[in-house]
Amino acid sequence: MPESIGGIPLHPLVVHAVVVLIPLAALGVMAIALVPKWRGRFGVLVVGVAAFATVMVPVATSSGEQLQESRPDSELIDKHAELGNAALYSAIPLLILAVALWWLGRRADRDAPVPRWLNWLVPALAIGVAVVAIVQMVLIGHSGAKAVWSGV
């Protein structure tokens, strides 16, 4: 992966996508978890945003590691890197649950039966994971911003 693009480090560019799209996907997941009739209408959009955001997470962490190596050691950066490395642990479950909700919506639209426990378990898990993903992203983003902007 290139470390920089046009002389500018790659990391601050790609983190935009993760910082906005993970919370956006999480809000979408919460919405289709709470309102079943939205699953068929918006499900594919939520899955699309969640998938793109999830792919961007490893791009953000590996470009971040490269940026870290080119900078002097810093406790703030270490903390940020540690938090950032855990981002995938909520992003991947979020994507899986988005797909599961979309699938439930498609089954419901076709009046195809699903086991009843799935109809409460998937939305409940989805809301829980969405909250965790948002909290994680706030902590990661804030620790990264502190590493860059403290003292400005």
Partner 1 sequence: MPETVFGLPLHPLVVHGAVVLVPLAALLSVIMAVSQEKRARWGILAWILVTAAWAATIAAKFSGTNLKDSLYPTVTPLKTAQHADYGSSSVWFVLALWLAVSAMLLLDLDRRRRDGFANPILPTLVAVLIIVAAMAASGQVALTAWTGTDARWG
**Residue ranges that bind partner 1, judged by CB under 8 A:** 6-9, 12-13, 15-17, 19-21, 24, 41-42, 45, 49, 141-142, 145-146, 148-150, 152
Identify which of 53, 46, 47 has the alpha carbon closest to the alpha carbon of residue 18. Answer: 53
C-alpha radius of gyration, the chain, whole number = 18
Q: Which is nearer to partner 1, 107 or 146 (CB)?
A: 146
Nearest approach in angstroms of CB 86 to partner 1 is: 20
Nearest approach in angstroms of CB 14 to partner 1 is: 11
Identify which of 59, 60, 55, 67 has the alpha carbon closest to the alpha carbon of residue 95. Answer: 55
Nearest approach in angstroms of CB 107 to partner 1 is: 19
Nearest approach in angstroms of CB 23 to partner 1 is: 10
Q: Which is nearer to partner 1, 114 or 142 (CB)?
A: 142
Q: Following CA atoms 151, 62, 82, 141 in sequence, which dihedral angle do they give, to the nearest 10 degrees?
A: 50
CB of 50 closer than 8 Å to CB of 88: no
Nearest approach in angstroms of CB 147 to partner 1 is: 10
Q: Which is nearer to partner 1, 79 or 146 (CB)?
A: 146
Q: Which is nearer to partner 1, 45 or 125 (CB)?
A: 45
Q: Which is nearer to partner 1, 19 or 95 (CB)?
A: 19
Task: State residue 73 phi and psi, 5-degree precision.
Answer: -55, 140
Write the burial class of residue 54 (CB in 10 Å: 0-12 exposed, 13-18 middle, 19+ buried): buried
